[in-house]
Amino acid sequence: MDDKVVVITGASAGIGAAAARLLASRGASVVLAARRRELLESVASTCGARALAVVADVGARAQVRRVVAEGIGRFGHLDVWINNAGQGITRAPSQLTDEDVDEVMRQNVKSALYGMQEVLPHFKERGAGHVINVSSMLGRIPFATFRSAYCGAKHFLNALTATFRDEVQQTHPGIQFSLVSPPVVRTDFGANAIGGGPDSRQLPGSQSAEEVADVIAGVIASRRPDVYTRAGSGDRVAGYYAALGKDP
């Protein structure tokens, strides 16, 4: 990680904070973006002198553009952009409102879209770069009815990641777009979901934020395009669609 400059959105807690600490401990410079100043600066303080905290709402394009500018201004260039910011919602699909869908899309899809679009000119100028989008197993299998809109948003993010990769690599093969799909993670995600919901720490089959962060670090090194954070997840997804989809 020496000399790499990594931007992490949603870095004030959970997976983002764990990734920031791990990557900084391995020699990376980190640009940390999130809305909550006190928490963000606390995380940055644990990452050493090569950490920059940028208070920003990455669901607003102009603020994402500012994160890009401040990161380049501090470190001279950016190597990796991790779109980790997002928010859950607890609502059955039949009960979703226009406002619910708009906010979930802003937090989970538009935030990543803005990150990819705003950092892309810098990556193209350098001929290299790496975007990592943190998705979810719910973006593969919509098995949680109460997370209906979030499932849909992560499916959208998965498709956006793949199509960005296909487009950009036609002219700039040195720019990679990777997808990371964790299961339930023991963070405040559930408690902070719109409409409340179950505590993620109490759900079965969970991983720690640190385990997911370690996988993300591995993706930076390997540049693999699509990675699950738990062994057996790929087989579970394949089995789900094999059971659903039968040829006529």
Q: Which of the 8 DSSP states describes residue 196?
A: -
Tokens 């385990």 sit at which residue? 211
Verdict on whether the full-model pTM lies above 0.85: yes
Q: Which amino acid is at 110?
A: K
The rounded distance, in Å, linking the Cα atoms of 124 and 119 is 9
Closest CA to 35 of 54, 62, 19, 20: 54
Catalytic residue among 150, 228, 240, 241: 150
The rounded distance, in Å, linking the Cα atoms of 193 and 111 is 17
Clarify whether 150 is annotated catalytic.
Answer: yes
Query: From the CB of residue 186, how many other CB atoms can be counted at a distance below 10 Å?
Result: 19
| DSSP tally for the chain: helices H, then strands E | 8, 7
Task: Single out the residue of 159, 176, 162, 182 nearest to residue 229, CA to CA.
Answer: 182
DSSP class of 37: H
What are the pLDDT digits (tens) for 146-182?
999 999 999 999 999 999 999 999 999 999 999 999 9
C-alpha to C-alpha distance for 97 and 7, rounded to whole angstroms: 33
**How much is the pLDDT for 107?**
97
Per-residue pLDDT tens listing for the chain (248 residues):
678 999 999 999 999 999 999 999 999 999 999 999 999 999 999 999 999 999 999 999 999 999 999 999 999 999 999 999 999 999 999 999 999 999 999 999 999 999 999 999 999 999 999 999 999 999 999 999 999 999 999 999 999 999 999 999 999 999 999 999 999 999 989 888 999 887 788 787 789 999 999 999 999 999 999 999 999 999 999 999 999 877 77
pLDDT in tens, 112-143: 999 999 999 999 999 999 999 999 999 999 99
Q: How wide is the angle at C-alpha 7 spanned by C-alphas 43 and 72, nearest 5°?
A: 115
Contacts of 163 (CB under 8 A, 6+ apart): none
DSSP state letters, 95-136: G--HHHHHHHHIIIIIHHHHHHHHHHHHHHHHT-EEEEEE--
| Cβ atoms < 10 Å from Cβ of 73 | 9
Domains of the chain, each with CATH number or no CATH: 5-244 (3.40.50.720)
Beta carbons of 32 and 40 less than 8 angstroms apart: yes
Q: How far is CA 56 from CA 30, 37, 68, 104, in A?
A: 15, 9, 11, 17
